[in-house]
Chain A
Amino acid sequence: MSELTLTVMRLGFLAVLWLFVIVAVQVIRSDLFGTRVTQRGARREAARPQQQAARQAPPPQRQQSGGSGRRGRNAPTKLVVTEGTLTGTTVALQGQTITLGRAHDSTIVLDDDYASSRHARIYPDRDGQWIVEDLGSTNGTYLDRNRLTTPTPIAPGAPIRIGKTVIELRK
């Protein structure tokens, strides 16, 4: 084998190896998933500007349902964390009690400085209506904007706020 061929192969191999590294780094660059700004015509974002930065992934073109029409017909099937460090976590609702708090045996372990170790629980009553109850937490549990004092039925889509975490029940 001629000296020239081997030299070309040697340099070619190094070049290909480095090309692979560069391609891999390019993939990482295009893979940075963070935030992006979506232009949209809805009005509600302007109404609540302080929540814009925290809200995750609203699909740009979304059909908003016509208000209170279908409330209570279908029971919610899952609980979704929509804000906070656990965003995206879902728990299927199968008639079990869901406990929320920093204690590590909670159904949803909140990693949130404003949450108590046993903060709140969500459970179905006899009619299958889901109820949220504050378990004497320090900073309180909010349904929509009201601080809970008694066990309260949850309307579908109503945000339950615990510290920086927001939870919703979905169908």
Chain B
Amino acid sequence: MSTTNQSTHHTSTIGSIGTPSRRNTELALLVFAVAIPVFAYANVGLAINEEVPSGLLSYGLGLGLLAGVAHLVVRKFAPYADPLLLPLATLLNGLGLVIIWRLDQSKLLQSIQQAGTAAPRQLLYTALGIALFIVVLIFLKDHRVLQRYTYISMVGALFLLLLPLVPGLGQNIYGAKIWISVAGFSIQPGEFAKIVLAIFFAGYLMVKRDALALASRRFIGLYLPRGRDLGPILVVWFISILILVFETDLGTSLLFFGMFVIMLYVATERTSWIVFGLLMSSVGAVGVASFEPHVQQRVQAWLDPMHEYLLSRQGVGGHSEQAMQALWAFGSGGTLGTGLGQGHSDLIRFAANSDFILATFGEEMGLAGIMAILLIYGLIVERGVRTALAARDPFGKLLAIGLSGAFALQVFVVAGGVMGLIPLTGMTMPFLAYGGSSVIANWALVGILIRISDTARRPAPAPAANPDAEMTQVVRPS
């Protein structure tokens, strides 16, 4: 073996790979993510009206323009951000728009005033959402600024959560009081509370996590926290029970409590919190379901959807036909689906393009399509968790985990509800479903994640040369 070979063999260095900015990857994926909905749009038009829809060009240009502007802003203000978050969110939003437009075409839904002009409005909400996304990226230079507003966020989140209960402002839409009505618009404050609450939990747990993690006794493999450290989880549990009782919405309640438990687990690395969280949420849910009639109806419709459907058809009670109809929609889709625009999910009538939009996806794209959609959601969550792992500061870590955890829980609660795994709730599928609050809030959520990932992936500056280094000569044997 020659000397040079040996020398290179011995002087290898292990260093981190310089993270490239990946903006061109993002652009390529974004073009792909805009092309798929345009193709789907043409497909729906051909299937329903036997012609390429006249709005194809304007719709494609609109979505492309919004995505392009968002991309340019990311390129300028967050050059090292994750390349996948923006294209994934754009694709989901675009597919949602296509399916909402497809349901707009349904004569049945038009006749009962459930749809007709939803797609242009959703495009407007998307534009507002991307505008908020841009505002977040431009004005939030460093996510650590949010840490200063820990307790203001708490007050803000409680205020947002309580808004639907204010008489005159809150709206009771089909049992769930999670809406407010301002100047003719229905707003779901819970969607925004989700983000604000994540900021509060992250700031709070960052300061308190040592006390919550270290002071504990070990008991059959579990670290049991001291009684007084149970305070915060009890308070959050109590608030989520209050949400369940007064707003009668299982989804919102589950989302907030679940988000807190996830962040508590990540902050303290104690499995016992998860055990406690699961116990407390099941006790709470069962307890409330035993006396709250609206929750009871939802549980009945979940346990025996066919019974409820028949009762409702015969006009003798029965509260929800949709749970059963959604299951039929999924069933008639089969593996490969009926094809876009060729299903009959408009028979669900009420909330077909919001809460139950996943049923249309399931029927027209089949199991294969639904799996792809759920994987895309999974990838968004994965990128959020990856951002949290890469973040250097504990606040950024917790915030990224909180936001992606809330996103994952929301997808689970809605998809599980529509598919009959858990009782139905009044929440909507992020990005897919028709609804301004949801689209706008989730674009802001993605904006914050992109901001954190930009900070996390920014390459570390190279260490300066050590002046002593070249003075040391190492004489190596052989």
Q: Do A and B come from one complex?
A: yes
A interface with B by C-beta (< 8 Å): 1, 5-7, 9-14, 16-18, 20-21, 23-25, 27-28, 31, 33-47, 52-53, 55-60, 62-65, 67-68, 71, 80, 82, 85-90, 104, 109, 111, 156-157, 159, 168, 170
Query: Which chain A residues lie closer than 8 Å to B50 at the CB level?
Result: 1
Q: Do B84 and A24 touch across chains, with their CB atoms under 8 A apart? A: yes
| Residues A35 and B16 in contact, CB atoms below 8 Å apart | yes
Of B91, B369, B467, B474, chain A has the most CB atoms within 10 Å of the CB of B467
B398 in the interface (beta carbon within 8 A): no
Which residues of chain B are within 8 angstroms of A53 by Cβ–Cβ distance? 14
Across the interface, do A57 and B16 meet the contact criterion of CB distance under 8 Å? yes
Residue of B nearest to A88 (CB): B460
Residues of chain A lying within 8 A (CB to CB) of residue B466: 44, 64, 157, 159
A14 to B207, alpha carbons, bound, how many Å?
47
Residue of A nearest to B392 (CB): A86
Q: How far is the CB of A114 from chain B (nearest CB, A)?
A: 15
- Asked if B337 and A41 sit within 8 Å, CB to CB, the answer is no
Determine the distance from Cα of A116 to Cα of B376 in the docked complex, in whole angstroms: 44
Q: Residue B315 at the A interface, CB < 8 A?
A: no
A40–B15 Cα distance when bound, in Å, is 12
Q: Which residues of B contact A11 (CB under 8 A)?
A: 336
Having A9-B339, A24-B379, A35-B14, one finds 12 other A-B pairs with CB under 8 Å, namely A6-B342, A10-B339, A13-B43, A14-B336, A23-B29, A27-B84, A35-B15, A36-B16, A37-B14, A38-B15, A57-B462, A111-B394
Interface size class of B (residues with CB under 8 A): 35 or more
Q: Residue among B379, B457, B463, B474 with the most chain A CB within 10 A? A: B463
Q: Are B474 and A47 in contact (CB under 8 A)?
A: yes
Give chain B's interface residues, CB within 8 Å of chain A: 7-8, 10-19, 22, 25, 29, 32-33, 36, 39-40, 43, 46-47, 50, 83-84, 87-88, 91, 206-207, 336-340, 342, 365-366, 368-369, 372, 375-376, 379, 382-383, 392-394, 457-467, 469-474, 476
Say whether, besides A14-B369, A24-B84, A88-B461, A65 and B15 are in contact (CB < 8 Å).
no
Instruction: Tell me whether A39 and B16 are in contact (CB under 8 A).
Output: no
Interchain CA distance A5-B50 in the complex, whole Å: 11
CB of A160 to closest CB in B, whole Å: 13
- Tell me which residues across on chain A come within 8 A of B87, comparing CB atoms: 24
Q: Given the complex, which residues of B lie within 8 Å of A156, measured CB to CB?
A: 464
Chain A residues closer than 8 Å to B458, beta-carbon distance = 88
When distances are taken between beta carbons in the complex, the residues of chain A under 8 Å from B11 are 39-43, 45-46
Q: Answer whether A31 and B83 are a contact pair too, CB < 8 Å, given A6-B339, A21-B379.
A: yes
A52 CB to nearest chain B CB (Å): 6
